[in-house]
Amino acid sequence: MTKNSRKIVIIGGGFGGLFTALDLNGAGEVTLINDEDHFLFRPMLYEYLSGEVEAWHIAPDCRELLDDQAKFIRGRVTSIDLSSKTVKLADREEPIPYNALVISPGATTNYAGVEGAEQYSLPFRTLNDAQLLRRRMTETLDLVQPDAAPQDTRAALTFAVVGGGASGVELTTKMADLLRDAVKRRALQGEPRVVIIEMADRLVPGMGTALREFVEAALTEHRVEVYTGTRVVRVSESGITLEHNHTQTELQTAGVVWVAGVRPSPLIEGLEVERDHRGLILVEPTLQVRGHEDVFALGDAALYTDVTPTLAGTAQLALQESHLCARNVRGFFEGSELKTRRFVELGEALSLGTEHAAVLTAGKVIGGPLARQARFAMYTARLPTWHHRLRVGASWFFEGTQPRPLQPLGF
């Protein structure tokens, strides 16, 4: 098969899919299919919520990134036919044929069957989710009367975040800063109330002690209320029901954000390949889907068994896998031996409010404003393409990264 006749189809324009497409430049006729027109650098979605970064910084257009290196189709893949080697898209009659397929549609929010959770809580995975949450906070603030008593302000401005992993911590500290700043600017009396709820007996399980100390200090400093060992039983339009030690309590809330877990993209639910108990596609160390040498899977939709649990389900892993995937797709066509590699921890970085962060690198943790700068620098380096990195780096350096206050709507 000549290079030009090799049809390589990639599903998902995230960390796994987009970076594979970029690496595959020149390997054949590469087509990237994504249901959004942009890539999303999810680790900075908190900064988008607070206005520290703009959409174009973290969600560049896929077509611009790919330039003429690959064809881009904006569309949702509805099914994959492994026997006819085609994929089907919603709103498109003709299936798309492939000679090699890369599956990287990522994950989606897992509400774990909790009553009302999907209906009434806000997810936090996309630009739109962040916009909706920002809007909810602003609208709630707009309803607080200027002369409200402190306890009424606190009751009106109660937000709950379900899930005490890194996402929950980053989100609550960011929300607490934004809301407190808005309360001050509007000269309201009292304080907002931000609550984080975790089923396990401690927050950020899997995180080392040194980083956890920063996290705990930040939550205390931001006056985020921590409920561990607490299960969410129900979410309703006006609040949340919690269960701790077999006792249930009701909490009235202005908003509930659900970051308590993920499940693989529904696209792979019906796919007849080997999967684990969570539905993740089992892949060989070469990233080939078991029993299908022309199909590769990576990122949040795949289970690569030989990685440390803390790396699983991260952008760091998907990014590293993308380089291996591209290399092996080339190897597959060239008939050369496919490779595997050891994936490593690239360091951890957590944003802790709008002014601070904590960064773990080379076994050491740094915190505070310096860590915030380090996090921005670290993430600039991981954005796709040199061109985009330079533009964003220049924008952050010259124009700054200050949060945008929650102004009254219509301001």
Ligand X SMILES: Cc1cc2nc3c(=O)[nH]c(=O)nc-3n(C[C@H](O)[C@H](O)[C@H](O)COP(=O)(O)OP(=O)(O)OC[C@H]3O[C@@H](n4cnc5c(N)ncnc54)[C@H](O)[C@@H]3O)c2cc1C
Nearest distance in Å: CB 262, ligand X:
8
Among 316, 320, 328, 380, binds ligand X (CB under 6 A): 316
Q: Which one, 19 or 333, has the nearer CB to ligand X?
A: 19
Q: Measured between alpha carbons, how far apart are the two ends of the chain, in Å?
A: 60
Nearest distance in Å: CB 59, ligand X:
10
Nearest distance in Å: CB 387, ligand X:
20
Nearest distance in Å: CB 110, ligand X:
12
Counting contacts by CB under 6 A, is residue 61 touching ligand X? no
Cβ count near 50 (within 10 Å): 23
Counting contacts by CB under 6 A, is residue 42 touching ligand X? yes
Counting contacts by CB under 6 A, is residue 264 touching ligand X? no
Counting contacts by CB under 6 A, is residue 76 touching ligand X? yes
Nearest distance in Å: CB 72, ligand X:
11
Q: Which is nearest to 90 in space by CA: 75, 103, 104?
A: 75
Q: What dihedral do alpha carbons 382, 43, 344, 219 form, nearest 10°?
A: 130
Stretch near ligand X under the rule CB under 6 A, chosen from 36-44, 196-204, 219-227, 401-409: 36-44
By the 8 A CB rule, do 81 and 287 touch?
no
* Three-state DSSP class for residue 404: coil
Nearest distance in Å: CB 365, ligand X:
15
Counting contacts by CB under 6 A, is residue 50 touching ligand X? no
Residues 147-186, one symbol each (x = binds ligand X by CB under 6 A, - = not), give: --------------------x-------------------
Stretch near ligand X under the rule CB under 6 A, chosen from 232-240, 248-256, 280-288, 313-321: 313-321
Q: Where are the alpha helices (DSSP H) in 186-241?
A: 209-221
State how far the Cα of 41 lies from the Cα of 8, in Å rounded to an integer: 24
Counting contacts by CB under 6 A, is residue 6 touching ligand X? no
Among 8, 9, 10, 13, binds ligand X (CB under 6 A): 13
Nearest distance in Å: CB 194, ligand X:
17
Q: Which two tokens stand for residue 338?
A: 């496919």
Q: Which one, 219 or 315, has the nearer CB to ligand X?
A: 315
Nearest distance in Å: CB 301, ligand X:
6
* Three-state DSSP class for residue 293: strand
Counting contacts by CB under 6 A, is residue 192 touching ligand X? no
* Three-state DSSP class for residue 102: strand
- For residue 42, give the amino acid letter: R
Counting contacts by CB under 6 A, is residue 63 touching ligand X? no
State how far the Cα of 95 lies from the Cα of 80, in Å rounded to an integer: 9
Beta bridge partners, 264, equal: 107
The residue count for binding ligand X (CB under 6 A) is: 32
Among 21, 28, 43, 159, binds ligand X (CB under 6 A): 43
Q: Which one, 156 or 207, has the nearer CB to ligand X?
A: 207
Q: Which one, 53 or 188, has the nearer CB to ligand X?
A: 53
State how far the Cα of 394 lies from the Cα of 380, in Å rounded to an integer: 10
Q: Which one, 106 or 403, has the nearer CB to ligand X?
A: 106
State how far the Cα of 404 lies from the Cα of 233, in Å rounded to an integer: 35
Residue nearest to ligand X as judged by C-beta position: 14
Question: How many CA atoms does the CB half-sphere of 163 hold within 13 Å?
Answer: 22
Among 66, 204, 267, 406, binds ligand X (CB under 6 A): 267
Q: Which one, 284 or 300, has the nearer CB to ligand X?
A: 300
Residues in 355-384 at the binding interface with ligand X, rule: CB under 6 A:
none
State how far the Cα of 392 lies from the Cα of 319, in Å rounded to an integer: 19
State how far the Cα of 364 lies from the Cα of 189, in Å rounded to an integer: 40
Q: Which one, 140 or 167, has the nearer CB to ligand X?
A: 167
Q: Which two tokens stand for residue 35?
A: 């249901």
Q: Which two tokens stand for residue 188?
A: 């309201």
State how far the Cα of 104 lies from the Cα of 301, in Å rounded to an integer: 6
Length in residues, the chain: 411
Nearest distance in Å: CB 27, ligand X:
19
Cβ count near 245 (within 10 Å): 6
Q: How many helices (H) and strands (E) does the chain have?
A: 12, 24
Beta bridge partners, 153, equal: none
Residues in 103-122 at the binding interface with ligand X, rule: CB under 6 A:
104-106
Interface residues with ligand X (CB under 6 A) are: 11-17, 33-36, 42-43, 45, 76-77, 104-106, 124-125, 167, 265, 267, 299-301, 313-316, 318
